[in-house]
Structure 1
Amino acid sequence: MTAQPLLDVRDLEVEFRSQGRPVKAVRGASLTVYPGQTVAIVGESGSGKSTTAAAILGLLQGTGKVTGGQILFGGQDLAKASRRDFEKVRGSGIGLVPQDPNTNLNPLWRVGFQIKETLVANGAAKRGETRSRAVELLREAGMRDPEKRVNQYPHEFSGGMRQRALIAIGLACRPRLLIADEPTSALDVTVQRQILDHLESLTAELGTAVLLITHDLGLAAERASHLVVMYKGRIVESGPALQILQDPHHEYTKRLVRAAPSLAARRDDGEALAGGQARTPTVTGTVAAELAEEASSRHAEEASAGQDEVIVAQHLVKDFPIRGAVPLAGGSTFRAVNDISFALRRGTTTAVVGESGSGKSTVARMVLGLLEPTSGTVHFDGRDVTSLRGADGKEFRRRVQPVFQNPYGSLDPMYSIYRAIAEPLDIHGIGDKASRVARVKELLDLVALPQSVMQRFPNELSGGQRQRVAIARALALRPEVVVCDEAVSALDVLVQAQILTLLQQLQRELGLTYLFITHDLAVVKQIAHDVIVMSKGEVVDAGPTDRVYDNPASDYTRALIDAIPGGSIELAG
């Protein structure tokens, strides 16, 4: 490492204007990146980490502008650079791998064309050589069969393949610095590890420095030699990665260390989950008391009847037709789930784990009665879910409720928070208007949200707040079973920890049973009593959580555990 930094950010100030007033997004931030070094900026949404990266690239959106400090790159102050200066720096000087490949790849252009445009715009290849260079770059990024893939569109790629395409674009012009902004946050842990391993070896081979932006402290510590922790626009801690993890000084950094699933996965440890900052819900009020009383009465009846299993799935199979396939020609269906059997014990959490395409969400939809099995059965309280019609079907919907993955998509943007939570009560004809208002207020108390949010709309809430609203809506009908389909995967680590703590507290107080669908075994370790591991539609491992972690029954389970970011890092104390 040379004494001269490649990137030297000094006292950076960035502000936006909101309703005519200036809002500081970055306050006095300073950091350095040396040639060949990997530095990670860690923080939750709104901490200023992505804004800092955008300022370095000259890509601040809307009213954003640099109002103070310096951004020295190779001796040039980018804080004062013109648009033409930035055009010269981007690509060959500083490359970018953005967060979301779905919005950063043009769906109307072939992937190869998008790589070629980057090469031509930066003068990195002549037009006659761009196709062969695009194929070579895709191959470098770890893409299989690049000669074929170069002619395909983004929708024909998996999430991991699209991320590899963005890596190919980011490194196309051999930049000296690569900014990777949450490059794998939407990917399964095994795919994430493959992508990051390849990116690490590729940048090391090219001598490229990396500025990694992430909210995952475990991932940052595993991949970077130096950590920069941001909170509310300020850098609150900076230093060698392992040193910060083992001896964090700032309270916010301590919360991040405690909350990171990969660093502190301990089930029923509420303080560790919430980083000491979650508002622990207290079950009070009419609705809470009724729910708790019902749960206690129900469990007493079930215990006397010897009923421990609320949902029993037997030999589930689900086939989907392949669009365009010729009937009776063979291969006309795809088997998403193949002979799955399991049972949910009352008052416990069973996690179904696997990569995208493993069949876990298909299982969840069959349990919810949203998909009918090709064969096999799902029994709820001894009755086949597919046979429930009319009043029986409506009662099943009341007693089994879902919480879906995306809080941005599961709430109607045209509905106020009050209407979103009260809608199930209205559909089931429960109470009058006054009692529904009271019920919604108490449900908001239950999920630790202020009653004032009732009149607000989803776009006015954060992701964590929206997911709390989704949980409140799921509890409105006093269900016995809640199916959480990737319910925390889209959330920052601290918010994720708070939601997990909330779910555990509600389970203890109300006797809820959870079916928890996830791809993250670190989260499973925190919340689940039992685990089912799926791969390619089949169960490859199942049992109590501790047994699955300590003595995995399949190589696939071991691979999932090994792929947890930062899982092998030893923490002091």
Structure 2
Amino acid sequence: MSASPGVDELLALDGLRVEIGGRAVVTGLDLTVRAGRITALVGESGSGKSMTALATIGLQPRVAAVHGSARLDGEELVGRSAQQMRRIRSGRIGMIFQEPGQSLSPVMKVSAVFRDVLAVREDVRGATAVRRRTRELLESVGLPDPARTARSYPHELSGGELQRVVIALALSGDPALLIADEPTTALDVTVQRGILDLLVRIVQEREIGILLITHDMGVVGEIADDVVVLKDGDAVEQGGFRRILSAPEEPYTRELLAAVPRLSESLERTGGRGSGRDPGRDSAAGGAQPSAAADVVGRSAGTGAEASAGPGAEPPVVRVEGLSVEYRRRGGAHLALDDVGMEIRRGEIHGLVGESGSGKSTWGKALAGLVPVQARTLELDGVDPRTLGAAERRAAYARVGLVFQDPASSLNPRRTVGWSIGEPLQLAGRSSRAEIGRRVAEALEAVRLPASSASRLPHELSGGQRQRVSIARALILDPALLIADEPTSALDVTIQAHVIDVLREAIEATRFACVFISHDLAVVGSLADRVTVLRQGRAVEQGSAQQVLGNPRHEYTRALLASVPDPERRLHESDRAA
């Protein structure tokens, strides 16, 4: 997209400053958004991105003081009364928040939310008129079944559907400006691609401006026209996307770009990692690569684990054949996993990739004993937990560590970090208080956190620090298997890189087996030895990371790879077009 000659500024920030408790969190920002263009405000968590947006539309915290200028179509916004800002937000500005589920009431159907919003933003009343306008807006954001969406509660919709609903709400009132705060964070790559394409289409069709807040330079490279890089509340660099991505001047901008995982670089960096770096496994396979039949698995080929280890080889930590999981619900049953299998040895990382609903997290829960399963073979560290008594089964599953996607919800907010990390040892009842304290300090050191972190509460830590605490907690019982379920999806790219390094170091140090669940194929490529691609509960492709991600044979895998954001893709496409 390119700006039309002479297009006036839609949004202009001039020396915008936001102070909280006398401390400046935004330090005099200059920024312009023009109609028909997407301006990306980029930076890590805490850089002031979201505070800039909130201050612009009058939603900053009450303790915050806003100075400087923010003009919408030449009209000053700073200093306006709350009532005046409500009027402006009701029509001329649309806001898309990062967590769509938190933007909607869990006890209201989508139709009821639209009824209330349309009454305020468009003065649309009456059941028929509201239903017609709701359908128009839901159709405009590409939802294929607006009637079903409208009568659904938020929990009945997927993440991508929820985000499209929130975008449709933001488009009500025909706004001139959209502010999109991390609109694709934690979405699957194909869903993310759809949302990005939708934002581009909205700009093109409606000739509105978008202020896109993101930490992901891959997203910036895909859709932004103009880029402002924010660090500690200060714009350290800004310009057109081509110049920023191809010739960044500031070290911080280069750092953000360098931290973006790139699949090709990930596979090059890991070298032969995906071909099976475990010596015992290589000897079992006779040093040869797995056959195409073993790597590409459909319903039949994916039913069993991989080739047996053979004489003298180290036995697998995980061996699964014919694993199925069925969820029973009112009105029927849902087969979440259908006849899948894997083998994982010590020190090996097996990546599970696929879209939401593909069965990735269910597979992790099955290995952790959290859901009922059916399987021809299910062995953890050489033992089938299904054959054990209750006490022995608990002991077997204690050898499985879990790292969840959202550390804020998996750590007790009222307990210290040290208590949370040491709790598994307390529950096991075999360590003294002094021993627990020593083990907690060692676990913190292993994840690059100071021992003093033990006395802090979770909210006193950053997102990346909380995730490292979750890893420390999962490792405290010396697990044979670690299941990491989307542990980096909501983190800034630089923080994500630190967490990946911590996880890699822990695996190399203690050689536990790991199941790494992610929708980010570049991250999986940087870590995994082997990869399984899941679609609707079935394994459609399985093999070495080099083969699956570097030379995929299944069209679904190729579609996932094509959807991965790439900060340089548009630059290369423009060069070819020229």
Q: Where on the TM-score scale, by shorter chain, does this alignment land: which range?
A: 0.7 to 0.9
- 1:195 deviates by 2.1
Is the CA contact 1:416–1:456 (under 8 Å) kept in the aligned structure 2?
yes
The equivalent residue for 1:413 is 413
Task: Output aligned runs, 1:168-567, within 5 Å.
Answer: 168-262=168-262, 265-266=265-266, 305-323=312-330, 325=331, 332-389=332-389, 392-566=392-566
Structure 2 counterpart of 1:429, which letter?
Answer: G
TM-score by length of 1: 0.88
Supply the distance in 2 between the matched residues of 1:568 and 1:525 (Cα, whole angstroms): 18
Supply the distance in 2 between the matched residues of 1:46 and 1:507 (Cα, whole angstroms): 30
Structure 2: segments with no counterpart, 5+ residues: 271-277, 280-308, 573-578
TM-score by length of 2: 0.87
- 1:379 deviates by 0.9
Task: Output aligned runs, 1:17-166, within 5 Å.
Answer: 17=21, 22-66=22-66, 68-123=67-122, 125=124, 127=126, 129-166=129-166
Structure 1 counterpart of 2:519, which letter?
Answer: H
* Stretch deviating more after TM superposition (513-522 or 381-390): 381-390
- 1:525 deviates by 1.4
Of 5, 9, 14, 1:5 maps to 9
Per-residue CA deviations over 1:437-490 (Å, capped at 9, x if unaligned) read 122112111111111111122222222111111111122122222111111112
- 1:428 deviates by 2.6
Per-residue CA deviations over 1:258-309 (Å, capped at 9, x if unaligned) read 1112477525959xxxxxxxxxxxxxxxxxxxxxxxx99xxxxx99942252
Supply the distance in 2 between the matched residues of 1:267 and 1:387 (Cα, whole angstroms): 40
Q: SS in structure 1 opposite 2:408?
A: coil
Supply the distance in 2 between the matched residues of 1:489 and 1:75 (Cα, whole angstroms): 38
Is the CA contact 1:6–1:34 (under 8 Å) kept in the aligned structure 2?
yes
* Stretch deviating more after TM superposition (450-459 or 394-403): 394-403
- 1:567 deviates by 6.3
Is the CA contact 1:369–1:386 (under 8 Å) kept in the aligned structure 2?
no
Supply the distance in 2 between the matched residues of 1:62 and 1:387 (Cα, whole angstroms): 59
Supply the distance in 2 between the matched residues of 1:373 and 1:253 (Cα, whole angstroms): 48
Supply the distance in 1 between the matched residues of 2:348 and 2:570 (Cα, whole angstroms): 30
Q: SS in structure 2 opposite 1:256?
A: helix
- 1:83 deviates by 2.4
Structure 2 counterpart of 1:92, which letter?
Answer: G
Per-residue CA deviations over 1:141-187 (Å, capped at 9, x if unaligned) read 11122234323332332222221111111111111111111112132
- 1:537 deviates by 0.4
Structure 2 counterpart of 1:100, which letter?
Answer: E
Q: Determine what percentage of the aligned residue pairs are the same residue.
A: 39
> Closer, same or farther in 2 for the Cα pair 1:458/1:268, shift >3 Å?
farther
Supply the distance in 1 between the matched residues of 2:317 and 2:263 (Cα, whole angstroms): 33
Supply the distance in 2 between the matched residues of 1:430 and 1:305 (Cα, whole angstroms): 34
Structure 2 counterpart of 1:13, which letter?
Answer: R
* Stretch deviating more after TM superposition (533-542 or 134-143): 134-143
Supply the distance in 2 between the matched residues of 1:182 and 1:507 (Cα, whole angstroms): 31
Q: SS in structure 2 opposite 1:487?
A: coil
Supply the distance in 2 between the matched residues of 1:185 and 1:383 (Cα, whole angstroms): 39
Supply the distance in 1 between the matched residues of 2:394 and 2:157 (Cα, whole angstroms): 39
The equivalent residue for 2:300 is none
Structure 2 counterpart of 1:382, which letter?
Answer: G
Supply the distance in 1 between the matched residues of 2:259 and 2:269 (Cα, whole angstroms): 10
- 1:207 deviates by 0.8
Q: SS in structure 2 opposite 1:87?
A: helix
* Stretch deviating more after TM superposition (33-42 or 408-417): 408-417
- 1:189 deviates by 1.3
Aligned residues: 534
> Closer, same or farther in 2 for the Cα pair 1:145/1:571, shift >3 Å?
closer
- 1:120 deviates by 2.6
> Closer, same or farther in 2 for the Cα pair 1:209/1:347, shift >3 Å?
same
Q: SS in structure 2 opposite 1:218?
A: helix
Supply the distance in 2 between the matched residues of 1:480 and 1:263 (Cα, whole angstroms): 28
Supply the distance in 1 between the matched residues of 2:551 and 2:381 (Cα, whole angstroms): 32
Is the CA contact 1:218–1:263 (under 8 Å) kept in the aligned structure 2?
no
Is the CA contact 2:314–2:345 (under 8 Å) kept in the aligned structure 1?
no
Per-residue CA deviations over 1:519-543 (Å, capped at 9, x if unaligned) read 1212111111111000000001111
> Closer, same or farther in 2 for the Cα pair 1:434/1:382, shift >3 Å?
closer
Is the CA contact 2:403–2:474 (under 8 Å) kept in the aligned structure 1?
yes
> Closer, same or farther in 2 for the Cα pair 1:570/1:109, shift >3 Å?
closer
Per-residue CA deviations over 1:181-205 (Å, capped at 9, x if unaligned) read 1112132111111122123212311
Structure 1 counterpart of 2:320, which letter?
Answer: A
Structure 2 counterpart of 1:253, which letter?
Answer: T
Structure 1 counterpart of 2:89, which letter?
Answer: R
- 1:88 deviates by 3.0
Q: SS in structure 1 opposite 2:86?
A: helix
Supply the distance in 1 between the matched residues of 2:478 and 2:131 (Cα, whole angstroms): 59
Is the CA contact 1:228–1:238 (under 8 Å) kept in the aligned structure 2?
yes
Structure 2 counterpart of 1:372, which letter?
Answer: P
Structure 1: segments with no counterpart, 5+ residues: 271-294, 297-301, 326-331
